[in-house]
Chains A and B, each alone.
Chain A
């Protein structure tokens, strides 16, 4: 975690979360009030409660080549209710299990004694043979008979309260921030198409983990998509489509500024302010 004095980084701070006037808002993808003026409240406006201190993440850059990643000239200031949530693994478990349940095909099928092909003729006489009484030849007790209580195609999807899923998103994002595996870039608009250029850039940045690029735009930039399509350790998605499962699965997550704004718009909680006395 970034641990520098607030004074030192004040000039570096990019107010990602508070910047309303963006192309994304103009596109109408967020549905927020399109306030054209950019309001930047003074730092003193932040309450001093430790629960509300914003999270600071240095801004990385995918596009600007030749710029070393470990010397940030900008810092992103993130909403703590989204990116500094307490880690609740049980909530993540619920969300992941819910997601995987929904993926189940549920197509296992067996034939019951009614569905197995065969006649209903009584196999042997009720009495006299000295053996057990039997009806038709498709009874589950017999070899070649139907299956009693076997699987039938069914829907394994479960319901999970909307707010649990939202909490899961907050926890997953906060977990990545806590592990220092959440990167924020200005833009994911990679212009090249060659995979080897992307590999070179990722080597420069030192991002060798499994990485998920999340863009806040409506579609993933085509250059980025083509460059990373053949890399099995890299995946790309949009902020609207990403879920808790993806955030947990991919060890490193790279957001662009619009994606950060999207998540803060959807997930931010307005908390009641406590008194200023600590």
Chain B
């Protein structure tokens, strides 16, 4: 419906402008006499909690004294706010579909990283990293070369079976941000926590610091080579062999 406007045939000026009919409503003014319809009790009725000044309402979630739904059930567990990581899962079938559509391309020299996944729309948010999961492992036909933060065993198996490669890289918050934004001028930090070091030097996980990964990866930074040496040296120490 077109806005109804009072038409003035004279020229447009400051004194003959009007708002469109129905666009302005008069204010509700409480306590200004009987005829207004909102006098005396001002629309609140008589007495009771809701008629009182101030808020008049109990706090949110209050159920009249009955144990509230938020108190009925016990608390459980804890949240690891320091080291807890939420990985963005992506399955093999989705990546395969993207590659078939031409929205993703990969090669051993230019593997798929979190940046490519986000930019192509395969993932909407890379969060603390990308984890490759194995839905669609049986039907995988395309070659996928990818460097996620983590990968499941079935995904690794399926990708390598169809000729691709998976190498899991460690990303902290800063290096993840740089990866997604495409910045290459910073040095990505090495894993410092024992758990991370053990994980990323493990060939089973295809960690990028495992000696076998260093040997197989097409482009290896010199720094990774050194890190891999240093972080796996303890295995060959005398005390470890006992």
Enumerate chain A interface residues (CB-CB to B < 8 A).
87-90, 92-94, 96, 172, 175-176, 179, 181, 245, 248-249, 251
Contact = CB atoms under 8 A, between A and B. Distances in A.
Contacts of A172: 12
Given A92-B17, A93-B17, A175 B5 contact: no
Nearest to B7: A89
14 contacts: A88-B3, A88-B5, A89-B5, A89-B17, A90-B3, A90-B20, A90-B23, A92-B12, A93-B17, A93-B18, A93-B20, A248-B17, A251-B11, A251-B13
A251 B23 CA distance: 27
Contacts of A92: 12, 17
Given A89-B18, A90-B18, 14 more contacts: A89-B5, A89-B16, A90-B3, A90-B5, A90-B17, A90-B23, A92-B12, A92-B17, A172-B12, A175-B11, A176-B12, A248-B12, A248-B14, A251-B11
Nearest to B10: A179
Contacts of B12: 87, 89, 92, 172, 175-176, 179, 248
B19 A90 contact: yes
Interface in B1-54: 3, 5-6, 8, 11-14, 16-20, 23
B11 A179 contact: yes
Contact of A248 (B5, B6, B13, B19): B13
Contacts of B18: 89-90, 93
A180 to B, nearest CB: 10
A121 to B, nearest CB: 25
B19 A93 contact: yes
A169 to B, nearest CB: 13
- What 6 A-B pairs have minimum CB-CB distances, sorted nearest first? A90-B20, A93-B17, A175-B12, A179-B11, A93-B19, A92-B17
B140 to A, nearest CB: 46
A87 B8 CA distance: 11
Contacts of A94: 19
A249 B17 CA distance: 11
A21 B107 CA distance: 50
Contacts of A90: 3, 5, 17-20, 23
A41 to B, nearest CB: 33
B28 to A, nearest CB: 16
A176 B5 CA distance: 19
Nearest to A100: B14
A181 B11 CA distance: 10
B71 to A, nearest CB: 39
B19 A96 contact: no
B19 to A, nearest CB: 5
Interface in B80-116: none
Contacts of A179: 11-12
A135 B229 CA distance: 82
B30 to A, nearest CB: 12
Nearest to A88: B5
B17 to A, nearest CB: 4
Contact of B14 (A87, A175, A181, A249): A249
A93 B21 CA distance: 12
A248 B19 CA distance: 15
A267 B152 CA distance: 56
Contacts of A88: 3, 5
A246 to B, nearest CB: 10
